[in-house]
A and B are shown apart, each in its own frame.
Chain A
Amino acid sequence: MLDFFYILTKGGFVLWCVPSSATEFIKTINDAIDKAVLQGQGAGQKWVAQLTSHHIHYKLDNEFELVFVLGYQKTLNISYADKFLDEIQKRFRDLYKDDLRTGNFTRAFAFREVYEKSLKETEDAEDEMKKIRRLPRSYEESDKKLKTVKIVTKKGDKTAEENKPKKPKVMKSSSKPSVASNQKAPVLEEEEEDDENVEEEQDVEDQDENNGQEDKSDEVVSDDAMMNEDESNRLPLEPVQPTALSNMQKLQALGKLPGPRSKGAPATKTPGKQDKDKPKGKKMAVSLKPNISDTNGLDYTKKVDIKKEEQERTTVAAPLAARPEGGDLKTMAVESTGLASGLVDGFWSKLKKVNVFASKTLTAEDLRTGIETMREHLIAKNVAADVAEKICESVTDKLAGKTLGSFESLTSNIRQAMRETLMMILTPKRRIDILRDVVDAQKARRPYVITFCGVNGVGKSTNLAKVTYWLSGNNLRVLIAGCDTFRAGAIEQLLTHVRHLNNIFTEKNMPMIELYQRGYGKDAAGIAAEAINYAKDKKFDVVLIDTAGRMQNDEPLMAALAKLIHVNNPDLVLFVGEALVGNEAVDQVTKFNQALIDHAGLQTNPRVIDGIVLTKFDTIDDKVGAAISMTYTTDKPIVFVGIGQKYQDLKTINADVVTEALLK
């Protein structure tokens, strides 16, 4: 059922493979290596090949510098792939440890028997598992429970991260106790922190519990009971209604403001909590069990505050505005989390962490703290959250199992691996050389067409003018197509640019720039087609098409853009994005790409974004994360970087500088 299985060194030598003579998978594997392993796009050590229909799983062995790759058809569903990889890795290493260590790769690895045996065993075990009847998951094991727990624990709590065990769905029975024990920790944390939030979530949770199962483990029941302890002091009245906390309380919950005891507690809009004595009804009866009476000791909330808040709350009638906080607005006490503790070491702590003599093997546990710090650091530098998460996963994969040499510390290794990953993301797979491609187009007697697209207000027209300035300066004749037929003043803006640039260039006897426009309200794709024909007739070298800005989820506009691109087939489709964007960047590029593919019509090879123009780069100091988010999502290079609003402010990206800024 597996199509192929390869064992290779990181240097590229195939140590063992099955099937032994087929070479048709080489391209697939090469592609997978490039995308998944190097760039770090493979999430969870899996990769779906685009060209052929394979699922590829891989495992890196950092100790001996090996890679284990297997692949199977997309239509199959082989759930034991990861387990099998682990198994094979163990066996291979045990058998050939010495040879691998000395680097003796020329020997033949007679591994087939062991492989076949292992495969059979795994498949049999899999069949056995399938025979066991699977109960539906209880609420505790479901992802929803993990999510609600995560919402409650704030301040980037480590235990919230622990609470996402990546358990395979098959091994349900073994993971049950571990999940339950994991939940003990966050529950304690909850108690220490914000009372109000516990309250708020209480309602959500209770409803979920009732929808869940009856078979709860003891720990989980105590979990509920502890929260109910608090609740018994202040019973929520109605079933689930998201209690509207005031802004102050929300800020407190986020940990940004000191708690209510130091300043006067403001009025709260929680009418639901007034009635203390009304029993909760069915919900409470189900959850409370008599055998967890000793949980009072685990209740770390400060009882004093609860009483005080209740008194405040019972007098709620006045809206918030009538009871001002008194005095000026309190500033947010922003905690500055620099890249502290984990990574900036003093001399002595560095000495402690440095391995002088022994060689230590890195495990995932060791890496976790450092990687967590790194992830938050990346997010603070404006990298999208998903992207930061994936990058950290791939760095963990790269470092797990690696032996530290002498004089290497953990943090230096993490930083090095992170630097390499970021550099690899920012380095393009193919360099885009516009001037060289223009020469090709000239030989073919047609103009080179570049399209600029993006959302509203990112700087398409400005950067188009900068590109015009650059191209004209290289003695190329440029035609600008005004396909932004929607925004008021778009055509006039381009006219002004053209006039200005022509003024600059007439003095130097350079070619003239022209604008092809047909006013407002017309079909953009038609105007673009006419412009290209006009350019071909008049022998222009380059055509730059300016489109209107559009939001990525605006269906009709995206369809119109896709039509423009597929009808005219430009040589280069540039997505213009601003460097100020945060998590939106991922959404924008994904949706643009998706829209272009969806509305491709009858084309077999739909066009997608070919490159990115990153604008307003001078406005961010070192929060350069948007560059990473965009290149990671599209795997396309950043062609231009806009660093200002004058014609000369056009540069290409410097991967070193961006990486250093991200790691600083």
Chain B
Amino acid sequence: MDARQRAKLDEYVDPEFIDSSAGVFPLTIIMSFLVVFATIAILWWAKNRSRAARRGECLLLCGISNAGKTLLFSRLTMGVAKRTLTSMAVNRGSMTLENSSSDRPVKKVRVIDVPGNLRIRQRDFNSEKASAKAIIFVIDSTTINKDSKDVSDYLYDILREKTFRQQRLPLLIFCNKQDLNNDNETTQSIRQLLENELTMKRKTRTSSVAVHQGKAESADDIGRPGKDTFEFNDVKDLQIEFVDGSSLGAEKKSYAKHYDDIDEDDIVSTGDETDADSGANLNKVYDWIEKIWIK
């Protein structure tokens, strides 16, 4: 076998395998590490991205506890009026808007329901406010007299929020539960009540004891700076509207039926609840939402 045969063999053998065996190995390791890291990075970025995609796109439902936000949420997103209790966590869902006039017949609107409980409201509101395109502030018309201080507190925080003022956020103040009693406060009287409260709130908030080690906030005053009393008309940076209605309304009956006698009817289909969305009492709200999303 000698030089001649060896030379022949060498023809078949690819020279690369012989020479660069030492160099390939670390390169492949590096390549594989890079691939792994790239995959991890892409997954992480994708995860964060999905959260950011909702920025500035959502409809926020705010209000103090027991105002009717979660019920409104279920009406908007699911078309059903489900029985609700105090929310402990944020509800996220989406509603579809039917629009006959434009070429996109169906538009999806993301709705976020922020719990009203004072303990978690701050945390949830702060994390959701970045994704707000419009806010519905729900007020319980039957107890507004008692709760006016808490309501105005919350409203003051919303009105003062700098990011909202910069983006000229539309704010709908929805006076809920108009169906319950006959001697409810009307929209006008609620508006007046809130204006009085907010006038006082401006003064007391600015003169209250400072927060220990708090951030030095610039005096984000609401309303017109020179004027003493506060009026909603003065708020130029936000588009505020007052509307009344009821989230519950006509479907009070089917709502109870949903839970009763389940073993007899054995409701499998959800046909009973869809008539709840007669929408008679939420028309104004729907109009407002359409106005904003379908411009």
Contact = CB atoms under 8 A, between A and B. Distances in A.
A86 to B, nearest CB: 20
Interface string B59-87: 00000011000100010001110111111
B284 interface: no
Contact of A652 (B47, B200, B210, B267): B210
Interface stretch (A110-118, A308-316, A334-342, A385-393): A110-118
Interface size class of B (residues with CB under 8 A): 35 or more
B213 interface: yes
Nearest to A617: B212
A12 B212 contact: no
Interface stretch (A29-37, A46-54, A193-201, A269-277): A29-37
A33 B85 contact: yes
B275 interface: no
Contacts of A65: 89
Query: In this complex, which of B65, B119, B122, B214 has the most chain A Cβ atoms within 10 angstroms of its Cβ?
Result: B119
B117 interface: yes
B251 to A, nearest CB: 13
Contacts of A111: 262
B211 interface: yes
A332 interface: no
A266 B9 CA distance: 87
Interface string A643-664: 1000000111110010000000
B128 interface: no
Given A108-B270, A435-B207, A34 B259 contact: no
Interface string A35-76: 001110000000000000000000000000101000000000
Contacts of B149: 433, 436
Given A423-B123, A435-B204, A11 B70 contact: yes
A295 interface: no
Interface residue tally on A, bucketed by range: 35 or more
Contact of A20 (B212, B256, B273): B256
B80 A652 contact: no
B62 to A, nearest CB: 14
B208 A11 contact: no
A356 interface: yes
A112 B260 CA distance: 10
Nearest to B273: A106
25 contacts: A8-B85, A10-B87, A12-B91, A14-B83, A20-B261, A20-B262, A29-B85, A33-B85, A38-B88, A38-B117, A38-B120, A39-B119, A106-B79, A110-B262, A113-B263, A407-B43, A423-B119, A429-B118, A436-B201, A436-B204, A439-B200, A439-B204, A640-B209, A657-B212, A657-B214
Given A13-B70, A17-B83, 15 more contacts: A10-B87, A11-B113, A12-B86, A13-B83, A17-B259, A30-B65, A30-B66, A108-B258, A110-B266, A112-B262, A473-B207, A651-B210, A652-B212, A653-B211, A654-B214
Interface of B: 40, 43-44, 47, 65-66, 70, 74, 78-80, 82-91, 113, 115, 117-120, 122-123, 149-150, 153, 200-201, 203-204, 207-214, 256, 258-263, 266-268, 270, 273
